Amino acid sequence: MKDLIRKYARKLVDQGLVAPPGPLVGGLDADLVWNRSDPWQPLLAQVVTGLDISAILFARPAEPYFSLINRLVERMPADSPALRPQDNETRTFLHEIPIVRDPSAANLIHALKQRKCVIVPEQGIVSYGTVSPEQAYIVYSSVCFSLFVKAFVDVFDDLRFGRSDPILQDLVMQGRRYYAACLAKAMDHPQLMEGPFDHRRDVIEAICEVGRLTVEKRMVDSFFGNISYRRGNTIYISQTTSSLDDLKGCIDPCAMDDSKCTAITASSEYPAHKSVYRQSDHRAILHGHPRFSVIVSLLCEDREQCENNGNCHIACPRDRDINGVPILPGESGTGPGSIAASLPLPLIRNRAAIIYGHGVFTTGENDFAGAFQRLLDVERACFEDYFERIKF
């Protein structure tokens, strides 16, 4: 347990989500153990007992996340119980993010019985894991991601309706500088393995390599996405909720004829990957959730007048694109409103596509070099498009 606690505490610092000395993480082994001393320990120990969980995490987010999150809370009515971003992570995973202004053990336990995390204004975020510290880490990362996205979408919507929030606007510009530096570092990256890959070990090594690079360059927060490679009639794909920077042992070989059941643990986007491979000769697919690709996909000038308002992620009547890269609706799984239905042909034609509120899919002919570069190019285009739109 101590090793797991240290691992996920370190990952949050490495990913720029928490500043040193890092988060406070507790895990239940024979006893409740912690990665460091902190005044929050007694309170969180009560929460662990009250929820009957195995791990808990508390951290003050690093900037610009901390100030952005606090401003989002300040903008809400004083009695508002939660923030409700509209990105895919929140819609399918978090649902809403409760606000606990008085962080007593009873209040935290009550909120965490309903949801996976809470915001304590001006202090930080609490999340937990029923089985492992990894779950608390995943939830914490998701909250930072979703609220970063919400802040930028809210500024866009403010401007649409003639509202002005100079504080949030200033924080968004700080976020611009932060993320511009991330993009600049991402553009300077090492050459990836050259394909095609004819041996299983090379396929797995190539998937692990591009996963690590995508996280190291901060284009995703560890588990935000999935990766696959087609070798013959087998699709090698990362498992659902697996961390892209730690994929060893988490890649499933799935027969394209469904003659084996390994796809049970595969990524939830496996049907979409399989559909692309069945209709093309592309061998590599990289899917990630870069922030500005998600942000720009959520921007709409006439949402309120649209008959599909509220169901944009399932059916959007408009043809939308960024520099020729289509923005498409779609949910995970199968069926007429799924990513598996909307994605394949546009992705095959353009080698890149954005899913509403969800992120970017890119392909490579023989390896991941082109797919990774296309993901960077799409994200940079979305970053530039956003700041062109919000001029103030």
Dihedral through CA 386, CA 388, CA 389, CA 390, nearest 10? 90
Spatial neighbors of 203 by CB under 8 A, at least 6 apart, are 197, 229, 231, 236
- Tens digits of pLDDT across the chain (392 residues): 889 999 999 999 999 999 989 999 999 988 999 999 999 999 999 999 999 899 999 999 999 999 999 999 999 999 999 999 988 878 777 889 999 999 999 999 999 999 999 999 999 999 999 999 999 999 999 999 999 999 999 999 999 999 999 999 999 999 999 999 999 999 999 999 999 999 999 999 999 999 999 999 999 886 788 999 999 999 999 998 889 999 999 999 999 987 765 667 777 789 999 999 999 999 999 999 999 999 999 998 887 777 777 777 777 778 899 999 999 998 877 777 789 889 999 999 999 999 999 999 999 999 999 999 999 999 999 999 999 999 87
Q: How far is CA 89 from the centre of its chain?
A: 6
Radius of gyration of the chain from Cα atoms?
21
Strand ranges of the sheet holding 325-328, from the earlier edge strand across to the other edge: 251-255, 234-238, 225-231, 284-288, 359-364, 352-355, 325-328, 320-322
d(CA 168, CA 75): 9
What domains lie within the chain, and their CATH numbers?
Answer: 2-184 (3.40.225.10), 192-389 (3.40.225.10)
